[in-house]
Structure 1
Amino acid sequence: MRTDDEAGPPAAVELTLAGPAAGGACVAHRDDATWFVRGGLPGERVMARQTGAKGRGRIRFADVVEVLTPSADRVVPPCPAAGRCGGCDLQHVAYGAQLRWKSQVLADQLQRIGRISTIGSVPVHEAVVVEAVPLPGRPDGLGWRTRLALSTDEAGRPCFHGRHSDELVAVPGCVVTVPELQAGFAGRWAPGRRLAWALGEQGAVVDGEPAGSAAPVAVPGWTVGPTVVRQAAGCSWLGAVGGFWQAHAAAPDVLVDAVRRALAPASGDSVIDLYCGVGLFAGALGAEVGEGGSALAVEGDRRAARLARRNLADLPQARVVQADVQRWVAKGGSRALATADVVVLDPPRAGAGAAVVSAVAAAGRARAVAYVACDGGSLARDAAMLGQHGWELSGLRAFDLFGMSHHVEAVATFRRS
């Protein structure tokens, strides 16, 4: 007699997929349950098999195993590892449809979570348009990634992790990675290591854990070291190879331009940059306000704050504080915010949260806040809190800086209502 532990996978069920949802899935309804189905497109009729992921109540998660009625927007994924590697979840979607998918999801989040019906005077579903960020000579959505985190298997092959698993997926290359880093996939590395690759002014740089274990056997011209120098906003920026930096080759310049336009800093202004990383926005805006102004940058990560001090050393009007932003706000940061003319919020995926948002909202002199968001749900939640404090979402630009995945980057502008 077969036990439950020996039971095979659940039977596939037929579903008709509705619109896209956050996280790269489409929504479907069956048997009084709501299904979140990966690997499909809106309007498709599919066979899908429930996964082991646990949903609350009548929530189910599933993967497409057969497409019965395909969408006109379905394409053959450009990567042979699509569906196994955890990095790209929209490779089966035509690029133009990816942009529409992301626009709809972000607008839905702002409306449903943020209670936002208009941006300025434009209905939210018309105002949110995710913009492509093309790179010369590269197909839409491909060849953009300038930094990678990988692990090596027992044979020393560079691998990505499978979706939500510890499975290592060895790949011969990566279609979303810049050409300059492709040679790394052909190299043999120390087995059982974590690797960080980055492209900088000096070419490809690799770092690894434990220290000194990452040296490639055969990748000519690559440098081994903990730091990388990158160009953005007309300056050079020192960063950690494995530290945070926008992965898309054009992202730093695109986002700096969007933040500048959102805040319109003037000579003599006081700027505060929260979650400043290695100082990109503080440096760009600090140069705009001049020595008669000021730029205060706050960053919780000790290494990033140290690098930010080096990057901003030539700006006497800039100062870096190494502190957890929430603790900084609680321990007197609100007094500094009270003197700010413009504020940049660039929090991690979880968002800024109530304490930080409340402190920013109470900044009595500030005329504008630029919120740089990598998660639409967190942006919507924080936007709702800013709205409760009398701030209005007056503008938003969204960018496709993560082609072939469901992720999107946005710069939201808030002004006092």
Structure 2
Amino acid sequence: MSCKHKGDRTLRKVLVVHYDEIALKGKNRGYFEDRLLHGIQNLFRDVGGIAVRKLYGRFLVSLEKVSLPEADVVLRLTRLPGLRYLLEGRETDGAWESLLAAVDEVLPPEGAARTFGVRAKRADKNYPKRSAEIEREMGGHVLAQRAWTVDLGDPDVWIRIELVNGRGLVCTHRHEGPGGLPTGVSGRGLALLSGGIDSPVAAFMMMTRGLTVSCIHFHSAPYTNERSQDKVRDLARLLVRFQPTLDLTMVPFAEPIQQSIVRDAPQALRVILYRRFMVRLANRAAVEARAACIISGESLGQVASQTIENLTSVQAVSGLPILRPLIGRSKSEIIGVARRIETYETSILPHDDCCSYLMPRSPATRSTPAELEVAERVLDVDALVDAAWEKRDRETLRL
């Protein structure tokens, strides 16, 4: 979408993508920028693509010839790991008259605001006006048209002017993104997805650290209903909004693993034994997914199985590092992220969790790897893992 004004200079409707951590990179900054660019392009392959240009320190997304409504384009982009924030605005040739015309076009109506502020960033140091001069003169231009007052703290409307690569960008609305690093720059990880509040948040947080995430879920069918598996699929569909595809592996856990543990192992160690078997199976799934780590939603001390001693006992059977991004987070902090990424309402729906099935009356809060090894001597560990693994289902979810 574009329009023309005096001097026949065209104003183009654009979205300006800003990042933060990528700007701190050194000689490999170009690699991270290219991965973010690739991520933007991937988001719109289902609608025939979108035009994106790389400018210094930002990307310019054209809204011309896009089959989606602008609000949908904004929504997709603001879920992209690596994107810090997004600005709606107009692209101009950078001439002062063009900037004035762009401001006129993006200004909201008189009654829509009472205060405003102007911020200018002059990446192009050859521009004839300095940033402070641009802000002062553009502020005067706005005051001549609106009965607003200037507020440089928290105005109703920010007018942002960016001069970069010979172009002038005039923007108003700002939308926050997840920040972090682009998908895939840190490799691949496999997340344990339980259906509760914590595990989707842990998966999301590692997506923003540059991991491409696959998920594994353990269910207790036929002793639990199908709704628990459907709920996990719903959560996985919410997570796939943050990367192009997501592989989900579903593993039956009640038979023979849980039944064998309940029958033959000490009751107090039951949950820790469950977790050790899950980690063994997750290691197999990680190999299949080409993942270099396992992601878990544990938070230190939140429940009996998440004491430092029990986490150590679980970690002992893993051949891969177990990343726990929530380890120092409070429950309220975790819920806050879950609400922001829109997984909370699904996570709190009632479901049958495989760890709550056949729970011991008094689970152990402390254990050692040696103690667990003794408890597992009565179990044919390899055969149990093989039996569960053979019954797995795997599906790929797409944006």
Bucket of the pairwise TM-score, normalised by the shorter protein: under 0.3
Scaled by the length of structure 1, the TM-score of the pair is 0.23
Q: With structure 2 as the length reference, what TM-score do the two structures score? A: 0.24
Q: Which has the higher helix share?
A: 2
Higher strand share: 1
The structure number with the bigger radius of gyration is 2
